Amino acid sequence: MMAMGAAGRYPGATPLLHLQGIVKQFPGCRANDDVDLSIAPHEIHALLGENGAGKSTLVKIIYGVMKPDAGSIAWQGKPALIGSPAQARALGIGMVFQHFSLFEALTVTENVALGLTDKADRVGLADRIADISRRYGLPLDPARSVHDLSVGERQRIEIVRCLLQKPKLLIMDEPTSVLTPQEVFHLFATLRRLADEGCSILYISHKLEEIRALCRRATIMRLGKVVAECIPAEKSARELAELMISARLQPQSFAHSIDNQGTPRLVLDRLTIRSNQQFGTDLKDISLSIAAGEILGIAGIAGNGQSELMDALSGEIPAGRPETITLDGMPIGHDGPRDRRRRGCCFLPEERNGHGAVTSMTLAENGFLSGHVRGALQRLGLIDRRRTGEFARAIIKAFDVRTTGPEAEARSLSGGNLQKFLIGREMLQQPTLLMLNQPTWGVDAGAAAAIYEAIVALARNGAAVLIISQDLDEILMLCDRIAVIASGRVSVPIPVRDATIEQIGLQMGGTAMPDHNVKLPETRYAVSA
């Protein structure tokens, strides 16, 4: 059962936080346009919206990272000025960010201590960490080094760090994107307990079934404005998505299972490499294959070798022997990224900023970075600016990228819109092998559906597709077969129709798969034409 919010317990109770008429303007964009938001005591409140709706800007204003251009903030019924995160924390506002700010070489206690300005707060810190982690079902060993911890355990550090401040409001940004289904269950139990004890929670997620199960109320934003408020449990996931994107949605199945696999296009034969990161994960004896027309999904919790596997497949880390990786029967283990692109490979890493894109460059220039090989965007050693611009415009149109045009800098886009551009950049090159790491990371429901449709269409046209993802729903919905990566090893792929969420979730956590059967989601939605 979900925790009942103050709106249900005490009608008319003074809101813990009340925003009125919040405005935030950026050049060419009004990120927040006269936004009102109220969060009641004891409440778990969802903030929903597609990419670029203004959620991140609003949360940064609440946490003191940004200042509004207009509007007012009331905290516990009194006017408040939140000019910095330190002031937000002093009021009782804590935030767990989607991307953790932890030093891997330090222990749990040392990482938590870095955020404490008062030396007195550091006395007995390890004992207090252990006590809070026990009380709230967030088991942590204060003496362990962060680089030895799973992603789920790292998230616990961020939550415990906030709980040490005894917050009255806890903001959580996409908290389940790096967790197994079992860890999500325990996290929800913790959040419900916090709400019962008096801590309100502002919960941001693109996973609408989570919102329906957990949150008492929801505020929905679109293009910088609040467009609706609702009780999520009274809406279907389809109805919530329609409110977010202002479009009719229709049931859609993306599955396209192939019954008879043809000749393998990509083959890994006992791939073993050492990570080039200090606290990375070595790959150990990985063997698998992908046929033309097949979509293979690799599930796993972040930090188990996904980045290293992607680097090995893209050519950024050479394999030990050339024949360890073959493409259409040709050994490519020692080929670099450019040579692999010439052979028909396209790929997109997990990290958008700095790896997938250069944020200070324009979209046209970012399109050229990977598209010049297969897209013929150069002539006589010089950039063909006309064709490069046309290529960027084609991506923007095909993937509905919200931007001012090809000359916009990549950093001017929201994270989801930049992801759509980068996905489009790879797919419009018509690869014979497409490899994507976290393809819909931070992307809203409508944009994700469009990406899924494009991936399936590419596979139906004969391309082999490899998807590395932490989103089990995504893999189970799209892929023909699924494997799990844990501690640098990849399990034997099995047909998706034979997999269950609980089995795969346990395997992601390093546990042998039991013989259980968990019902999988039956319906997905895509934007109708």
Ranges 8-17, 212-221, 239-248, most confident: 212-221
Q: What's the rounded Cα separation, in Å, for the pair 115 and 266? A: 47
DSSP assignment string, 79-97: E----SHHHHHHHTEEEE-
Of 429, 459, 479, which residue is a domain's last? 429
Q: Are residues 111 and 163 in the same domain?
A: yes
- Per-residue pLDDT band for 513 (boundaries 50, 70, 90) equals very low
pLDDT at residue number 136: 85
Q: Are residues 318 and 400 in the same domain?
A: no
Q: Are residues 163 and 34 in the same domain?
A: yes
DSSP assignment string, 307-367: HHHHHHHHTSS--SSGGGEEETTEE-TT--HHHHHHTTEEEE-S-TBTTTB-TTSBHHHHH
Let me know if residue 43 belongs to a domain: yes
| Strands (E) located in 209-279 | 217-222, 225-230, 249-252, 264-273
The answer to whether residue 185 scores a pLDDT higher than 80 is yes
Q: Are residues 436 and 459 in the same domain?
A: yes
**Residue 468 phi, psi dihedral angles, 5° rounding:** -105, 120
Q: How many CA atoms lie within 13 A of 476 on its CB side?
A: 21
* Residues contacting residue 461 through CB under 8 Å, at least 6 positions apart: none
Of 60 and 138, which is predicted with more confidence? Answer: 60
Let me know if residue 1 belongs to a domain: no
The answer to whether residue 525 scores a pLDDT higher than 80 is no
State pLDDT tens for residues 253-291.
565 556 556 689 999 999 999 988 777 889 999 999 999
Q: How many independent structural domains does the chain possess?
A: 3
Q: What's the rounded Cα separation, in Å, for the pair 262 and 292? A: 7
Let me know if residue 273 belongs to a domain: yes
State pLDDT tens for residues 196-243.
999 999 999 888 888 999 999 999 999 899 999 999 999 988 888 888
Of 401, 429, 457, which residue is a domain's last? 429
Q: Are residues 123 and 262 in the same domain?
A: no
State pLDDT tens for residues 33-61.
999 999 999 999 999 988 778 898 999 99
Do residues 220 and 49 lie in contact, with contact meaning Cβ atoms separated by under 8 Å? yes
Distance of CA 43 to the CA centre of its chain: 25
Do residues 212 and 219 lie in contact, with contact meaning Cβ atoms separated by under 8 Å? no
Phi-psi region at 235: left, alpha or beta (left = phi > 0; alpha = psi -120 to 50):
beta
Q: Which amino acid is it at 189?
A: A
* Owning domain of residue 69: 6-249
Residue closest to 93 by CA, chosen among 166, 18, 187, 155: 166
